[in-house]
Amino acid sequence: PPAPAPRRPTHVVIISEDGLRPDSLTEELTPAHMALMREGMAALQADTIPQSDTLPSHAAMLSGFGAEEHGLWWNSYQRDRGYIRVPTVFSIAHAHGLSTAMIVGKPKLRHIARPGSVDHFERPSYLCGGVARRAAAYFTEEQPALLFVHFSDPDEFGHSHGWMSDAYLAAVHHSDRCLATVLDAIDASAAGADTLVIVTADHGGHSRHHSGGHLEVDREIPWIARGPGVTADTVLDRPITTVDTAATALAALRLTPSPGMKGVSILTYAR
C-alpha cells in the first residue's frame, strides 16, 4: 500500500523571546528550549534584519518584509502613526477564514495588528509569567489557527543589567519556564499533534544595547521549530533570517505568501 501522506499542521504558534541570544541556551539554564531542539529542528545562528529593534524586527518576522517595505521604523507605541503597511501572517490567515491571536508583553506590537487581521489582541503583563499563563489558557480554550506569543524578559534585563550578565541569564531561565508553560498547554490540547511551534527572537544584544544591528551579536537569533512534518534533532545549516518565519507559518497553513515577500519556508528543509 502507498505510504500515508505526511501530517500537515492545522495550527501555528510563534513564540518570540525579546532579546534572546542563542548562546544563552544551555541544558542547565534552558531545558525546555533544549528539549524542543531535540524534538524538532534548530538554527542557532539565524539573523534578524539590520534594524535590530523590537518593533521593526517583529514587523519583519510577522510579515516577511524588511523595514523599508513594512514601514515600522520606530520602536515605541505611537497610536497616531497607525499600522504596518504590508500584509502580515495575520491578515493573510484572517482573509482565508482562519482565527488569529496575539498575546504580548509590549504594547508597541499593536502596530502590527492591523484592524480586521487579529481576532484577539491581549497584553496581560509585561514580563512573561502572565503572558504565558494567558497564552496557555487561550490556546486551550480557543485553539486559534495562528497564535503569536511575546515574552519581554531577556530584553528587559539585558537593558538593565547587560546581556549575558547574571540577571540576564536568570531572565532567560525564567523565559524558559514560561515557554514550558505554553508548550505544556499546546501538547495537552486536542490540537497539539497538529500544531507547528516556532520559537525565535527579535534580536540579541551586547553590553546594555542592541540597536542598529552593527554587531553580529545584536542581529543573531535562535530559530527552533517542532511539529508535523519536522524531523526530530535536525540542525539547520542554511542561512535563516527572521523574514523566513512568516513564510514558514504561511506554508504550514497552506496559505500563499504576499507578492514581494522576502522570506522562504524552512519547512522545505524539515525532512
pLDDT confidence band for 242 (50 / 70 / 90): very high
Q: How confident is the model at residue 4 (pLDDT cuts 50, 70, 90)?
A: low
Class of domain 11-269 (CATH, top level): alpha beta
Separation of CA 89 from chain center: 12
**Residue 69: predicted pLDDT:** 97
* pLDDT of 271 over the 80 cut: no
Pair type for strands 220-226 and 41-47:
antiparallel
Name the pLDDT band for 7 (thresholds 50, 70, 90).
confident
Kindly report the backbone phi and psi dihedral angles of residue 248, in degrees, each rounded to the nearest multiple of 5, phi listed first: -70, -45
The pLDDT assigned to 174 comes to: 99
Return the SS3 of 198: strand
pLDDT for residue 2 is more than 90:
no
* pLDDT attached to residue 72: 96
Is the pLDDT higher at 238 or at 122? 122
pLDDT of residue 209: 77
Q: Which of 259, 148, 150, 154 is nearest to 196 (CA)?
A: 148
Residue 199 has pLDDT above 60, yes or no: yes
